[in-house]
């Protein structure tokens, strides 16, 4: 189902996030880096772009088999908007959407700037985020660009409105599938859960029900990386993600580092590992 135009406005960060010292320290930083990776679809142009000060990945996707070469940017950063728009121009693409996976506390989204510089572009974020955008998406919605589309999955836990965009399921869609997980699932990690609206249990459930149920070869593209990784797969994260391979009780304990359950801490000290599944 194609999305309908809702209204035009810039994303607004909730006040509680704007006040965090974390945001203040990160906003002053400059963005410089660039990194690319490619997918295996003949229709899809795919670029992974890096903003090094907030260690953010922005993703450019376009359907180059369509005459207009419609394109979208996922999680653009304000500091690197000029780089991203130059790339769009150089590749002869028509940017139609600027999407966010969630409201970012560590950097300013590039969406507003993109809309100023390219007025035809529509911004997208989840309805559950409580933010403003041209299009407010809900789980199950599809974001179409040419003959390709992204499916919207709700993956709250880092923030209430976090969503994961997954490339379409079908013969004409890129294979393997690609999941843009925002801060829900990072490579060998996950988003912090100590912001307002965060929940370790919810995050654990989101990843297991919405991401780990995708085909095992699905490529994982997170919104950040702090360890030098660029891409992973569902299978790899199910096997090796230290916070999400455990059963629910231990997994939540691992995610929720600041509020560790003393009984689990004692089990760890005694080398007993995780309690049995419940
Ligand atoms: N280790 C990072 C800290 C930056 C940070 O807190 N990142 C957030 C996503 S942006 S709100 C996060 O969820 N990190 C995962 C975590 O485990 O803390 C740094 O080196 O800057």
**What pLDDT score does 124 carry?**
98
**Tens-digit pLDDT profile for residues 86-104:** 999 999 999 999 999 999 9
- Smallest CA separation from ligand 1 atom 9, residue: 191
Q: What is the ipTM of this complex?
A: 0.95
Domain for residue 162, yes or no? Answer: yes
**Counting atoms of ligand 1 from 1, which one is nearest the CA of 224?**
9
**What pLDDT score does 238 carry?**
96
Question: pLDDT category, 255, cuts 50, 70, 90?
Answer: confident
**What pLDDT score does 192 carry?**
96
CA of 254 to the centre of ligand 1 (A): 15
Q: Which residue has the higher pLDDT, 268 or 48?
A: 48
Here the CATH number for the domain that contains residue 36 is: 3.60.15.10
Ligand 1, CB cutoff 6 Å, lining residues: 105-106, 183, 189, 191-192, 224, 226
If you average pLDDT over residues 135-139, what whole number do you get?
98
Q: Please give the structure tokens belonging to residue 8.
A: 């035009």
Name which of 127, 115, 107, 149 is nearest 13 in CA terms.
Answer: 107
| Residue 125 structural domain | 15-260
Count structural domains, the chain: 1
Query: Which of 106, 158, 207 maximizes ligand 1 atoms within 8 Å of its Cβ, making it the mutation to test the pocket?
Result: 106
H-type alpha helices, the chain? 15-18, 21-27, 81-90, 111-117, 200-206, 234-240, 248-255, 262-269
**Tens-digit pLDDT profile for residues 150-185:** 999 999 999 999 999 999 999 999 999 999 999 999
Domain for residue 278, yes or no? Answer: no
Cα 257 to Cα 243: distance, rounded to the nearest angstrom: 10
**Tens-digit pLDDT profile for residues 207-230:** 999 999 999 999 999 999 999 999
Contact (Cβ atoms closer than 8 angstroms) between residue 197 and residue 224: no
């Amino acid at each position: 189902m194609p999305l309908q135009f809702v209204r035009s406005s810039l994303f607004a960060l909730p006040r509680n996030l704007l006040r965090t010292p974390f945001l203040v320290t990160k906003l002053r930083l400059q963005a410089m880096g660039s990194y690319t990776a490619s997918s295996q679809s003949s229709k899809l142009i795919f670029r992974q772009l890096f903003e090094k000060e907030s260690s953010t990945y922005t993703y450019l996707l376009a359907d180059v088999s369509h005459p207009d070469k419609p394109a979208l940017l996922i999680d653009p950063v304000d500091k690197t908007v000029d780089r991203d728009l130059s790339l769009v121009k150089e590749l002869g693409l028509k940017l139609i959407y600027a999407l966010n996976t969630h409201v970012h506390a560590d950097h300013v989204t590039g969406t507003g700037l993109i809309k100023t510089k390219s007025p035809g572009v529509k911004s997208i974020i989840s309805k559950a985020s409580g933010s403003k955008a041209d299009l407010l998406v809900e789980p199950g919605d599809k974001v179409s660009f040419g003959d390709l589309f992204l499916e919207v999955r709700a993956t709250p836990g880092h923030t209430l409105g976090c969503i994961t965009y997954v490339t379409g399921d079908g013969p004409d869609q890129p294979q393997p599938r690609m999941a843009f997980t925002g801060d829900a699932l990072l490579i060998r990690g996950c988003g912090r859960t100590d912001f307002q609206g965060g929940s370790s249990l919810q995050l654990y459930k989101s990843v297991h029900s919405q991401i780990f149920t995708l085909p095992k070869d699905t490529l994982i593209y997170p919104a950040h990386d702090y360890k030098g990784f660029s891409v992973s797969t569902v299978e790899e994260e199910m096997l090796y993600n230290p916070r999400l391979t455990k059963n629910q009780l231990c997994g939540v304990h691992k995610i929720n580092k600041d509020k560790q359950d003393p009984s689990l801490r004692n089990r760890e000290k005694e080398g007993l590992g995780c309690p049995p599944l419940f």
